[in-house]
């Protein structure tokens, strides 16, 4: 997006004023401060923003200095006021030679990282990763921030939830490798038709349970073209280490 004339000068002056205070702040905080600074100028300046959004001068300055982080709803309103597509808020922004660049972020490796500060965390719950019997986490990081209202759809106590990154394609297309699986560790009943996570000692595997009349069960991969079911005799059920029921991935199961 090219910016010329007075608008370009305002953005450059704002950068000169506020960017020195970003030194020492983490990259995510600096990125949000830059977006707030640019949006403020694109929206017509400080006076128009504080009037339209009902902010006070100190609050807006704190956002631009990177001292505090705006709520996601505030960023959305700023983008609308500045006539910037809301989906650009998820991009990486930069300013160079009178051009504002909105670059798609690099796709992170499978797993979980700290939440973006543009999230509204007021109603979010931190869910730890599953840890095996040796105390080792199944992921490099140990939590994910999930909207609190999500759990109402599942009827699950968040205290009993753990998060695990899916591996491989054995449960494809239901569960795609690299996506998060949310595990209810309080549910180990092995209900017929439900998907459960099992700890084999060597790896964690998700399988769909099929109960049989003789008390045994089959552990079924959804990708039956490439993987075979595993039959577990009734006497061997006690040897299964059931982590819990997989109650959600990218959608409710």
Q: How many domains does the chain have?
A: 2
Contact yes or no for 129/182 (Cβ under 8 A)? no
Question: Would you give per-residue pLDDT tens digits along the chain (253 residues)?
Answer: 888 888 889 989 999 998 998 988 888 788 888 999 999 899 888 888 888 888 887 888 888 888 888 877 788 888 888 888 877 877 788 888 888 888 876 544 444 444 444 444 455 666 777 765 444 445 444 455 666 666 677 778 888 888 888 888 899 888 888 788 889 999 999 999 999 999 988 888 999 999 999 999 999 999 988 999 999 999 999 899 999 999 888 655 5
> Is residue 127 domain-shared with residue 92, that is, in the same domain?
no
pLDDT of residue 1: 85
Q: Is the peptide bond before 111 cis (omega within 30 degrees of 0)?
A: no
State which of 61, 76, 103 marks the end of a domain: 103
- Cα dihedral sign, 31-32-33-39: positive
pTM of the model: 0.50
51: exposed, middle or buried (Cβ count in 10 Å: 0-12, 13-18, 19+): exposed
> Is residue 9 domain-shared with residue 88, that is, in the same domain?
yes
pLDDT digits (tens, 9 = 90+) for 73-120: 788 888 888 888 877 877 788 888 888 888 876 544 444 444 444 444
> Is residue 139 domain-shared with residue 230, that is, in the same domain?
yes
CATH of the domain at 64: 1.10.260
The single-letter DSSP state of residue 116 is: P
> Is residue 137 domain-shared with residue 221, that is, in the same domain?
yes
> Is residue 45 domain-shared with residue 154, that is, in the same domain?
no
> Is residue 241 domain-shared with residue 132, that is, in the same domain?
yes
Find the domain containing 73 and state its range.
Answer: 5-103
pLDDT of residue 215: 93
């Amino acid at each position: 997006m090219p910016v010329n004339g007075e608008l370009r000068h305002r953005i450059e002056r704002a950068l000169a004023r506020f960017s020195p205070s970003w030194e020492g702040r983490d990259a995510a905080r600096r990125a949000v401060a830059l977006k707030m600074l640019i949006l403020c100028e694109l929206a017509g300046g400080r006076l128009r923003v504080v009037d339209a959004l009902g902010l006070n001068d100190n609050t807006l300055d704190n956002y631009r200095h990177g001292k505090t982080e705006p709520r996601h709803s505030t960023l959305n309103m700023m983008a609308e006021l500045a006539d910037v597509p809301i989906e650009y808020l998820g991009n990486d922004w930069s300013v160079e030679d009178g051009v504002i660049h909105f670059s798609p972020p690099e796709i992170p490796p499978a797993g979980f990282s700290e939440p973006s500060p543009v999230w509204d965390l007021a109603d979010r719950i931190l869910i730890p990763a599953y840890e095996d019997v040796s105390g080792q986490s199944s992921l490099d990081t140990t939590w994910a921030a999930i909207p609190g209202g999500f759990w109402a759809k599942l009827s699950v106590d968040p205290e009993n939830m753990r998060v695990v990154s899916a591996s491989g394609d054995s449960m494809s297309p239901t569960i795609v490798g690299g996506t998060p699986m949310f595990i209810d560790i309080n549910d180990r009943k092995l209900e017929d038709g439900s998907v459960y996570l099992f700890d084999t000692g060597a790896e964690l595997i998700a399988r769909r349970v099929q109960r049989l009349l003789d008390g045994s069960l089959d552990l079924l991969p959804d990708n039956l073209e490439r993987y075979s079911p595993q039959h577990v005799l009734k006497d061997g059920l006690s040897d299964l280490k059931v982590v819990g029921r997989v109650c959600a991935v990218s959608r409710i199961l």
